[in-house]
Amino acid sequence: MSNAPVDTGRRRFLTWTTAVVGAVGAGFTAVPFVASWNPSAKARIAGAPVTVDIGKLETGQLLLVKWRGKPVWVVKRSDVVLAQLPSLNDELQDPDSIEPQQPGYAKNINRSIKPQVLVTVGICTHLGCSPTYLKGNFAEHAPGVDYGFFCPCHGSKYDMAGRVFKNVPAPLNLVVPPHYYVDDSTILVGLNQGEAEA
């Protein structure tokens, strides 16, 4: 044991230096760890909004786009189809769209922002099959109704607003994704108006 005087200044310097180096090391360790919680670029792209050009969409035509790995249908409906929607209410499980399958702005008889254009996720709410768009030959599944969506997996059927008929396996209307019109011929699927892209 040495009787030499203790250099408290040097000891304090070494203690502080060790603490600073330890804090910097902890920061370098924490940054990649916290960054790993962020979604990957691939995941961000998969959930990114999708721009849909409907400028050339013809009446009766269905346009298919993918958003978050799901099929999204954009259908231009005729005035005849729109006029028939109210007459189907008694045949539907949720004609007034009470269940939260759509944003507030699509909680109307047409389930859309603009009456002529339906935007909906093309996945049956029963077990996730993709229904078929039947135009002109839907009446074999719903007498008196020429247009609609029929799920071949288990027989669920939906009208041209994506509302599910009674007495079929599907419990809910088709989902209307968040979307808005950028201009008269462009829809952005994946965001509500006023939401910023992340």
Distance CA 134, CA 148 (A): 6
**Catalytic pick among 126, 141, 154, 179:** 154
Sign of the Cα torsion 155, 158, 163, 166 reads negative
Distance CA 100, CA 172 (A): 9
Residue 94's contacts (CB-CB under 8 Å, 6 or more residues apart) are 101, 163, 164, 172, 173
Distance CA 124, CA 170 (A): 7
With beta carbons less than 8 A apart as the criterion, state whether 97 and 111 touch. yes
154 counts as catalytic: yes
State the alpha helices, DSSP H only, in the chain: 8-35, 41-46, 79-84
Distance CA 48, CA 198 (A): 9
Output the CA torsion 187→190→196→198 (10° steps). Answer: -130
The residues that are catalytic are 154
